[in-house]
Amino acid sequence: MAPEPPLLSMSGITKSFPGVRALDGVDLDVQAGEVHCLLGQNGAGKSTLIKVLAGAHQPDDGVIRWRGEPVTLRSPIAAMRLGIATIYQELDLVEHLSVAENVHLGHEPTTAGFVVRGRAAKEATGRLLRRLGHPEVDPGRLVGELSAAQQQIVSMARALSHDVRLIVMDEPSAALDPDEVDNLFRIVGGLTADGVAVVYISHRLEEIRRIGDRVTVLKDGRAVAGGLPAKSTPTREVVALMTGRTVEYVFPERPAPPPGDGGTPVLQVRGLARDGEFEPLDLEVRAGEIVGLAGLVGSGRSEILETVYGARRPTAGQVLVDGRPLRPGSVRAAVRAGLGLAPEERKAQALLMLESVTRNVSVSSLSRFARAGWIDRGAERAAARAATRELSLRPDNPAVPVRTLSGGNQQKAVLARWLLRGCRVLLLDEPTRGVDVGARAELYAVVRRLADEGLAVLLVSSEVPEVLGLADRVLVLREGRVVHTAPAPALDEHRVLDLVMEGSQAS
Amino acid sequence: MTQHASPPRDSADTVAPAGRTPAWRGLRARADVRTLSLLGVLAALVVIGGVTKPDEFLDTRNLQLVLTQASVIGVVTVGMTFVITSGGIDLSVGAIVALASVWATTVATQEYGFGGILFTAVLVGLGCGLVNGLLVAYGGMVPFIATLAMLASARGLALQITDGRTQIVTVDGVLSLGERDSYLLGIPPLVLVFALVTVLGWLVLNRTTFGRRTVAVGGNAEAARLAGIDVRRQRLYLYLLSGLCCGIAAFLLVVLSGSGQNTNGNLYELDAIAAAIIGGTLLSGGRGTITGSVLGVLIFTTITDIFALNNLQSDVQQIAKGAIIVAAVLVQRRTASTT
């Protein structure tokens, strides 16, 4: 062991949320002056880990040492005082304040308690921006007027305005074009030369090879490999570490002749595109068929689903149900034609959290229980009960408030809504997000059964095994483009991960 | 998988009609607690009034007066409750009442008699509501700003119409509605209108698709949109409804005062919002109660009456109202966080 203790050493970090063990005894060592990459699929626990490091989450168990001393990061301010800065993927800047004001937010230079506007802060900001290689950004401009890349620079300048020893960057390259990525790497190089440690999170293996010193791979809340050499570990090995299943899901069996054969397509998507989100896309889903879209965050999965559903207006192309085109950008047209969406953010986009399960289930079919606007509540309750029973929703009492349900049962309530509506095409966006591992198999069985009963299902998931296990056919997406299409049994997880990470080079 | 505390009640389904489950009763019981506490406050106020001014407060004429005064603001509050439940706000109600009342009492309108006055008041209310609704639902304006603009414009227009003068009503049919001769079993017709609006409002909010959609839009507009509800059209209808209530209230006010004035309905928006909030309607939307709103109105009107009978100045009334609003919202937040 080196006589000098590592700058940061986290050991046995455990963090649970209701129903999910997000971190399960994670170890992470970071040396001063190194770029330590954190790798893992969505849901592996990366975000939770950096939130613990930023003081935003408190671990249930485990020890954090800073320069060998055990510390407690009670709040983001406590972490900042130690010299830990975090640059989140969603930049946390105030658009209506200037660059200098954002950089000094929370620690404004003051004189006798009054915030000093102007020179001192602007000059300090200017120095930081020059150090970051962006002298062209004017400290007096409003942050809202800057490009995404410039905003990221501001975020970094803010981190550096503190005496920072460790910077956590959460997918900093996601919103940048190649030139900007080069500049980002120059900045990272400059920081490490000054002895600052960088924890770098990315999905892109090639970036990690370029700037990383060591790699820690997270999977299902555990560090499956710690401190691998970033440049010399073979890609195969890294991918295998990321995907090696520790939890086996039970997927329902596929029907014997693949359901895609022969039948007429219920859902047809022709040349559908949205500028800056995804490129023209063609796909068909037949009755009884489950088609999966596999891809990482930012590959355009959710955007595609929401555009098909009419929640976003396409810039080109059309959606047809039973051969009839839908009015573009109209959710109501889509629902009337028989589409149903189980969105990614269940609580924000699907559920009425103050209401009962019954009312959440019936909300899309109200006119069915109404005569002249008058709701027959008995018929409504009976129908909601039948729909939730069919999906074995627990507790078996649709009068309870939907917020008391577990994630899996809340998802069933959303599915019951579309079952009751009699929908023909089900769009599932991350159907098992926030659902217990144990409850997932049941949800998979429900989806397959609905397909067997004649629904066309379009499934989006960042969990590759889920897409491969559940879907009949799979489209692999990378940065808004379909890079591969194949029957699910013809693909395996490594192949898909190669495709989504390396893209066209690998195919 | 047993994430809910209540035991399974499979057997109960076959015996009792669906929905009469413990949780449902629990929900109803919780609503009752709130209603009961409001009734308790009202009862306490009646006791206070009865003790401090036994002869005057409990006099039938005084109680009739209290109810009549509650009727005008009460009708406005019913409309306001719908708007707030949907996550919106209508700051223009007082101004609409003023505009509708003066437009309905111009010399020209009065020539058309009773029907002309009623029709004009309702139409002006609906017209203002339509503008509010279009601005909010299709113009993408924040309700606070759109209705604030309506407040200013409608007050200005009302002043322009009257030139600051009080317009005396000369139509007998309208005036007689406010007189004791037309009371039914001792109940003033204005109070009957209020009762009717309350009952209809309750039914619409709790028993119709319109009410459900209102609650859905207020609870989670994005979820409502993705569930296939036409959120914009619903918002338009809601401001129309609020405008309609203002038109009816304006007519009641014309009957009550026998005149139309551009200063009518002053600060009604604050009274209506306050009554809805202390009644238990969430300002953030998603939950609304007509019963609570009406009790809120009755509480405020009773306080005003008691203070007036005891010769306390209106400044003391205002302070007391403010304290009640704060107390009610604090209690509401406490219960919201525990449920």
A110 confidence band (pLDDT: 50, 70, 90): low
Query: Is A389 within a domain?
Result: yes
- Interatomic CA distance for residues A266 and A287, integer angstroms: 6
Task: Tell me the ipTM for this assembly.
Answer: 0.81
Among B4, B214, B226, B287, most A C-beta atoms within 10 A, so best to mutate, is B226
Decide if A351 and B223 are in contact by the 8 Å CB cutoff.
Answer: yes
Of B28, B35, B83, the closest CA to residue B288 belongs to B83
- Interatomic CA distance for residues A21 and A14, integer angstroms: 8
Element (H, E) at B56: helix B54-57
How would you classify residue A342: left for phi > 0, otherwise alpha for psi between -120 and 50, otherwise beta?
beta
Decide if A356 and B27 are in contact by the 8 Å CB cutoff.
Answer: yes
The answer on A413 and A270 residing in a single domain is no
The answer on A187 and A238 residing in a single domain is yes
Chain A residues touching residue B285 (CB < 8 angstroms): none
Of A321, A322, A350, A345, the closest CA to residue A334 belongs to A321
Strand order of the β-sheet with A61-66 is: A20-30, A8-17, A61-66, A69-71
Q: Is A400 within 8 Å of chain B by CB?
A: yes
Chain A residues touching residue B1 (CB < 8 angstroms): 394, 406, 438-439
Decide if B228 and A370 are in contact by the 8 Å CB cutoff.
Answer: no
Element (H, E) at B174: helix B172-177
Predicted confidence (pLDDT) at residue A146 exceeds the cutoff of 90: no
Least confident of A86-100, A396-410, A440-454, B46-60: A86-100
Predicted confidence (pLDDT) at residue B74 exceeds the cutoff of 80: yes
**% pLDDT > 70, chain A:** 90
Cis check: omega of the bond before A328, within 30 degrees of 0: no
**Which of A375, A405, A421 lies nearest to residue B209, judging by beta carbons?**
A375
- Interatomic CA distance for residues A150 and A143, integer angstroms: 9
**How many A×B Cβ pairs under 8 Å?**
116
Topology, domain B54-337 = ABC transporter involved in vitamin B12 uptake, BtuC (1.10.3470)
What domain count does chain A have? 3
Residue that terminates a domain, selected from A376, A404, A422: A422
Chain B residues touching residue A355 (CB < 8 angstroms): 215-216, 219
How would you classify residue A70: left for phi > 0, otherwise alpha for psi between -120 and 50, otherwise beta?
beta
Decide if B21 and A397 are in contact by the 8 Å CB cutoff.
Answer: yes
Of B101, B75, B118, B66, the closest CA to residue B242 belongs to B75
> A155 to chain B, minimum CA–CA distance in Å?
30
What phi and psi values does residue B277 have, to the nearest 5 degrees? -70, -45
Q: Is A77 within 8 Å of chain B by CB?
A: no
> B208 to chain A, minimum CA–CA distance in Å?
4
**Which of A335, A366, A381 lies nearest to residue B19, judging by beta carbons?**
A381
Average pLDDT over residues A464-491: 88
Yes or no: say if B178 and B258 are a contact pair by the CB < 8 Å rule: yes
For residue A440, the 8-state DSSP code is: H
Q: Which two tokens stand for residue B148?
A: 């604030």
Q: Which two tokens stand for residue B179?
A: 């007189």
Residue with the larger pLDDT of the pair A128 and A89: A128
Chain B residues touching residue A417 (CB < 8 angstroms): 227
The answer on A438 and A309 residing in a single domain is yes
Chain B residues touching residue A405 (CB < 8 angstroms): 3-4
Q: Which two tokens stand for residue A193?
A: 């030369």
Average pLDDT over residues B304-316: 85
The answer on A183 and A328 residing in a single domain is no
Residue that terminates a domain, selected from A422, A449, A470: A422
Decide if B227 and A396 are in contact by the 8 Å CB cutoff.
Answer: no
Query: Is A483 within a domain?
Result: yes
Task: Give the HSE-up count for residue A397: Cα atoms under 13 Å, Cβ half-sphere.
Answer: 28
The answer on A500 and A427 residing in a single domain is yes
The answer on A75 and A168 residing in a single domain is yes
Decide if A352 and B224 are in contact by the 8 Å CB cutoff.
Answer: yes
pTM for the whole structure: 0.78
| Cα diameter, chain B | 72
> B112 to chain A, minimum CA–CA distance in Å?
34
| Cα diameter, chain A | 81
The answer on A442 and A354 residing in a single domain is no
For residue A505, the 8-state DSSP code is: G
Decide if A373 and B216 are in contact by the 8 Å CB cutoff.
Answer: no
Decide if A351 and B27 are in contact by the 8 Å CB cutoff.
Answer: no
Specify the residue for token string 């895609």. Answer: A260
Q: Is A358 within 8 Å of chain B by CB?
A: yes
CATH code of the domain containing A496: 3.40.50.300
Task: Please write the tens of the pLDDT for every residue from A183-214.
Answer: 888 889 988 998 999 999 887 777 888 889 99
Q: Is A331 within 8 Å of chain B by CB?
A: yes
Least confident of A115-129, B205-219, B277-291: A115-129
Decide if B286 and A354 are in contact by the 8 Å CB cutoff.
Answer: yes
Query: What is the per-residue pLDDT for A250?
Result: 76
Average pLDDT over residues B204-226: 94
Query: Is A274 within a domain?
Result: yes
Chain A residues touching residue B287 (CB < 8 angstroms): 354
Element (H, E) at A292: strand A290-294
**Nearest residue in chain A measured CA to CA from B203:** A374
The answer on A352 and A320 residing in a single domain is no
Query: What is the per-residue pLDDT for A200?
Result: 92
Of A133, A492, A130, A460, the closest CA to residue A300 belongs to A460
Of B135, B52, B87, B123, the closest CA to residue B305 belongs to B52
**Which of B13, B21, B208 lies nearest to residue A374, judging by beta carbons?**
B208
Residue that terminates a domain, selected from A383, A401, A422: A422
Question: Which residues are CB-neighbours of A218 under 8 A, at least 6 positions away?
Answer: A26, A38, A39, A40, A44, A45, A46, A49, A224
Q: Is A437 within 8 Å of chain B by CB?
A: no
Query: Is A253 within a domain?
Result: no
3-state SS of A152-187 is HHHHHHHHHHCCCCEEEEECCCCCCCHHHHHHHHHH
Q: Is A364 within 8 Å of chain B by CB?
A: yes
**Nearest residue in chain B measured CA to CA from A401:** B23
A482-491, B113-122, B182-191 — most confident range:
B113-122
Decide if A381 and B213 are in contact by the 8 Å CB cutoff.
Answer: no
B27 confidence band (pLDDT: 50, 70, 90): low
Query: Is A324 within a domain?
Result: yes
Task: Please write the tens of the pLDDT for every residue from A71-108.
Answer: 998 888 888 888 998 888 766 788 888 888 888 887 77
The residues pairing with A201 across neighbouring beta strands, listed in sequence order, are A38, A170
Average pLDDT over residues A329-358: 93
What phi and psi values does residue B96 have, to the nearest 5 degrees? -65, -40
The answer on A468 and A328 residing in a single domain is yes
Of A506, A406, A391, the closest CA to residue A448 belongs to A391
Query: What is the per-residue pLDDT for A145?
Result: 86
Query: Is A187 within a domain?
Result: yes
A180 confidence band (pLDDT: 50, 70, 90): confident
Q: Which two tokens stand for residue A296?
A: 């990482």
Specify the residue for token string 């204005």. Answer: B190
> A323 to chain B, minimum CA–CA distance in Å?
21
- Interatomic CA distance for residues A196 and A83, integer angstroms: 10
Query: Is A107 within a domain?
Result: no
**Cα end-to-end distance, chain A, whole Å:** 43
A407 confidence band (pLDDT: 50, 70, 90): confident
Predicted confidence (pLDDT) at residue B2 exceeds the cutoff of 60: no
Chain B residues touching residue A382 (CB < 8 angstroms): 18
Yes or no: say if A352 and B219 are a contact pair by the CB < 8 Å rule: yes
Among A341, A352, A361, A380, most B C-beta atoms within 10 A, so best to mutate, is A352
- Interatomic CA distance for residues B135 and B91, integer angstroms: 14
Q: Is A381 within 8 Å of chain B by CB?
A: yes
The answer on A411 and A281 residing in a single domain is no
Between residues 487 and 506 of chain A, which touch chain B (CB distance below 8 Å)?
Answer: none
Residue B3: is it exposed, middle or buried by C-beta count within 10 angstroms (0-12/13-18/19+)?
middle
Of B332, B307, B330, the closest CA to residue B318 belongs to B307
Give just the sign of the alpha carbon dihedral B85, B88, B90, B91: positive
Yes or no: say if A161 and A124 are a contact pair by the CB < 8 Å rule: yes
Residue with the larger pLDDT of the pair B207 and A436: B207
Yes or no: say if B53 and B309 are a contact pair by the CB < 8 Å rule: yes
Domain range for A455: 265-338+423-506
Query: Is A119 within a domain?
Result: no
Chain A residues touching residue B280 (CB < 8 angstroms): none
Query: What is the per-residue pLDDT for B217?
Result: 96
| Pairing status of strand A374-375 against strand A370-371 | antiparallel
Residue count (chain B): 339
> A220 to chain B, minimum CA–CA distance in Å?
21
The answer on A176 and A78 residing in a single domain is yes
Chain B residues touching residue A327 (CB < 8 angstroms): none
- Interatomic CA distance for residues A78 and A84, integer angstroms: 9
Decide if A417 and B227 are in contact by the 8 Å CB cutoff.
Answer: yes
Q: Is A76 within 8 Å of chain B by CB?
A: no
> In chain B, where are the structural domains located?
54-337
- Interatomic CA distance for residues A46 and A22, integer angstroms: 9
- Interatomic CA distance for residues A282 and A273, integer angstroms: 9
The answer on A365 and A463 residing in a single domain is no
**Cα end-to-end distance, chain B, whole Å:** 21
> B204 to chain A, minimum CA–CA distance in Å?
8
Chain A residues touching residue B210 (CB < 8 angstroms): 373
